Structure 1
Amino acid sequence: MIRLPNPMLDQDRVALLRARKPVRHVLVPAWPREQKELPQVEVEVAWVRFSTLNHRTRAEQRREIHLARQLDLFTVDPLGAAAQEAQYRILRGQEGFKELKEDLKERGQQDPAIITAEGVLINGNRRTAALRSLHQDDVWLRARYVQCLVLPEDAQTEELVDLEAELQVARDFKQEYSWINEAFLIEELYDREGKDFDRVARRMHRTVADVRDLHEKLQQVHQLVDLAQGARLHVDFTDNESAFTELAKHIRTKPPAEADGVRSAYFLGTLANVEYRKLRHLRRPDAAELIQREIERDPALKPVLDAAQSAPSPSLGDDLLDDLLGEAPPAQPLNDLLGLVAARTPDESLPLGDGQKVSARQVLSSLRSAITNVADEAGDEERDQSAAKAPLVQADKAINILKRILKDLPKGRAQGEWDEHVFAVKVAEIQGLLDEIEGTRA
């Protein structure tokens, strides 16, 4: 949750903003209070503090925490040097930062940022980071100051979350979110709003289906990150939204065993960088078994599978994930292999049963080939089944159409413009087609 810094901890910062004479007051419709006009002031870009509790960088912060091996990096002293430098590093590393700097240099700051009474940015973190970089790195003197709207000193935690959610609706603000960070915001609102998706949807000005889908996708990412035990983080799956979308939607109504098998196939395929368009062919009850059989036939992968099964790693059926899944599904054949592979970065090695090791990157490459082959074969099978079913499906449609003709025929014949001859021609054509179809049986 976003926590408003206690003004008692830094009266000097609060007093500085309080003493600044506003250049104007600006209407902010997203501010939840009835009084929506906020004072606009100008402050030095190096003075304001980045929000370390903003959802737009939640996944990236988890990566920084992991790299620093400091769980309280962003909480022990949010306004301190370590947390602020880490947050600044995240903002500078985001996609489009260079273009944002160029735009600010060309057009200047178009919209004011929003800060707390202590000078912590609630909105405008990226723009302020870009201005700071222009001033400090590029020595562009016009970027020395940033225009800010100041929130009331008594602004509460929930008001700040609601403000962020409202601002997120705007297109220019939403572009600063990855889908995972947006899902983090939805997850927090969902917990706060009594696990009521309808209330979250109203807060986000989205449909219930939209917020539910994002929440469900994030739960799948949580599970894969838990399996990885630090080897992979949420931010590593930002580019895999389509795969998690299809996975979450497919397993929503499936029995636990089938859901676990498809999940294992998707997780392993995602780690191996298999195209999600290929993975969709593995949305079937026997997905895990098909992949296991392919791996067992591969001389390069069989020793890895044996090693995983002889020394089980955390799997989707373990207590770690039982709470998320609701119940523990039967163990799937890929779970041990998935646990072993997920918990290693591509630069690490995987242990084999004979004491030897193999490169995780090499294993992932072999897995990509194996899973792609299985997916291609499953796709061919789907097309064959579709071709076999197509005539029956079309026949059902034709039968329904003929039934409607029988039902509507009396009314049609009762109309003055009815043409019996034209209708007879149509019936003859239908009969001719039926004769042709019957003839194909010979």
Structure 2
Amino acid sequence: MASATPPFSEANRDMIQARLAEVRKEPSRETVTVEWRGKPRSVDVIEMPIRQLYYNPETHRIRAQRTVDPARSKGLDDDPWSEASQDYLEQLLMGDPFAPLKEDPAFRALVEDIKEYGQTEPGLITPTGILVNGNTRRAALSKLRKEHIRVGVLPDDWSWDDVDSLELALQLRKEHKRDYSFINFLMAVDEQVKRGKSADDICRSFRIKKDPTYKRSRWILAFIKEAIERSTVTTANGTTVGMNLVDFERDQGQLEELWRHFTLLEKNDPDGAAQLREGRLAGLLLDLNKVQMRSISGEGGGFYKAYLAPRLPKAIKPATAAPASVSIPGLSGVVVPGAAPAAAEAREFADKVLKARAIFAAPDHFTREEAAEAGELLKTARILMRDSVKMAEGSAKKNALELAPADQLGEATDAVKRSVEALIAARSTGGFDADALDENVLELRKQLEKLAQHASRGVQEAGEGLSWLIKAVQE
């Protein structure tokens, strides 16, 4: 938690109190209503010089994005009020959630809106000048070289818990225009868990359902954090590099689908579920699209074992034994027996791809040969993964074609069952039409004769069902 006393806080407090005293003399002063400790409360609005205010280092809006530059992120942790840290916060507030160091088109639109219409809604500050709400508006006003911003002032007895609750309440208002990004939402939920809030209280605060939204968010964040940890590579000078949270910002749909399939499969096939998890992780890292990802399954022996493993060259192919035990994402401290060899190999393959991604994204930390090797691994793995997906898709189509006759006959059987039920009901009311039934039975017999003719062709030894059908149409 950031220090509540930034530099010049006492000077800010004196200026804020003086301006509050002035506006309170006005008969029709501006106020803004906030949700304060569970109840609505009106606070007075004043004008403050932009240069006097501090961006909130605890804002959830850019919590994931700050990890894009580890050195500046550490500086932000060490001294959130320094000029360098405040400049970094401003850059992130202007940035695209998916590419934080590039300006967000939505931010440019906000700048144009303020340029044309001015600041329409006041922000919120603490009595020491820390922005609680309006951080992005302050960045936009600063870019327009405006000197002042209108802000409501929180009560003197504020705390960081109040700031957090207030930001969350403002974020969840329907009229709020800029949602938390996918990863920042996961982190906001995680922060509430770390503060000791119960799952029920968190769900009420975020207006989400415990099952599936809360459970899914916990699993996905644990999955991402584990992937980041597994991607870590130590450089020649002893520092470490790895993937970061922002790398997963665009993957919401695929991660939510993975959670859904994984939780269903894990109940009956833990090894298949593990292969599914590792295969889909590799697919994400190798930029497969959503349709391609759906071919990476855990059923029927698993995608990795059936399609990918036989194609891997020695340079990439894992050669590891299954671990004695593994931890389960989202369940801290819980371990289960290690996966079967195929799942363990799939995990090692995903690890190779994770580390290659980390090296490829930070070439300045490695030799030219190491960066080139990582790039070549990613290129080869991407080609092999896509080829394997095509094979899986072809196999799925073939299976669907082979099973289509049986599936269609199953639907016909269900229709006959419904016909029997309808016949019984019709007889009970005296409305049974035997002539109409006779006509349709003759058509059914004709189609059954054709079915028997084609189904028996090339069959050396017919099963009980087919034998009955052949005999029935011959009588």
Give the alignment's TM-score, normalised by structure 1: 0.82
1:96-135 aligned at under 5 Å gives the runs 96=105, 97-135=107-145
Tell me which of 232, 237, 244 is aligned to 1:233: 244
Tell me which of 313, 335, 339 is aligned to 2:351: 339
Tell me which of 200, 203, 208 is aligned to 1:201: 203
Query: What SS is found at the alignment partner of 1:359?
Result: helix
Distance in 1 of aligned mates of 2:122 and 2:379: 48
| Aligned 8 A contact 2:286 2:382 in 1 | yes
- The answer as to 2:305 corresponding to 1:293 is no
Give the drift of 1:124: 1.9
- The answer as to 2:51 corresponding to 1:46 is yes
Query: What SS is found at the alignment partner of 2:287?
Result: coil
| Aligned 8 A contact 2:328 2:334 in 1 | no
| Aligned 8 A contact 2:79 2:85 in 1 | yes
User: Residues 36 and 434 (structure 1 numbering): CA distance in 2 closer, same or farther, change over 3 Å?
Assistant: farther
Specify every segment of 5 or more residues in structure 2 that has no aligned partner in the other structure, as ranges: 24-28, 97-103, 233-240, 457-475
| Aligned 8 A contact 2:228 2:243 in 1 | yes
Deviations 1:300-343 (A, max 9, x none): xx3344xx759x9xx99778979577436336114334334423
| Worse overlay, 166-175 or 121-130 | 166-175
- The answer as to 2:45 corresponding to 1:24 is no
Letter in structure 1 aligned against 2:60: H
Distance in 2 of aligned mates of 1:425 and 1:161: 74
User: Residues 349 and 166 (structure 1 numbering): CA distance in 2 closer, same or farther, change over 3 Å?
Assistant: closer
Counterpart for residue 303 of structure 1:
315
Specify every segment of 5 or more residues in structure 1 that has no aligned partner in the other structure, as ranges: 136-142, 297-301
Deviations 1:213-244 (A, max 9, x none): 23322222111111122321111221222322
Give the drift of 1:371: 0.2
1:235-384 aligned at under 5 Å gives the runs 235-253=246-264, 254=266, 255-284=269-298, 285-289=301-305, 290-296=307-313, 302-305=314-317, 323=332, 326-327=335-336, 329-330=338-339, 332-343=344-355, 344-346=358-360, 348=363, 358-384=372-398
Tell me which of 163, 167, 173 is aligned to 1:164: 167
Give the drift of 1:183: 0.9
User: Residues 416 and 258 (structure 1 numbering): CA distance in 2 closer, same or farther, change over 3 Å?
Assistant: closer
Distance in 1 of aligned mates of 2:16 and 2:310: 67
Deviations 1:245-288 (A, max 9, x none): 22222222415433332222222222222223212211224233
Give the drift of 1:172: 5.5
Deviations 1:337-365 (A, max 9, x none): 433442332264999xxx99843222212
Deviations 1:387-437 (A, max 9, x none): 223333333333233223322323223447664444443444444433332
User: Residues 434 and 309 (structure 1 numbering): CA distance in 2 closer, same or farther, change over 3 Å?
Assistant: closer
Structure with greater contact order relative to length (CA < 8 Å, sep ≥ 6):
1
- Identity over aligned pairs, percent: 21
Query: What SS is found at the alignment partner of 2:32?
Result: strand
Give the alignment's TM-score, normalised by structure 2: 0.77
User: Residues 404 and 125 (structure 1 numbering): CA distance in 2 closer, same or farther, change over 3 Å?
Assistant: same
Distance in 1 of aligned mates of 2:334 and 2:61: 27
| Aligned 8 A contact 2:126 2:132 in 1 | yes
Q: How many residues align?
A: 416
Between structure 1 and structure 2, the one with the greater Rg is 2
| Aligned 8 A contact 1:256 1:329 in 2 | no
Give the drift of 1:108: 1.7
Cα RMSD over matched residues? 3.3
Query: What SS is found at the alignment partner of 1:346?
Result: helix
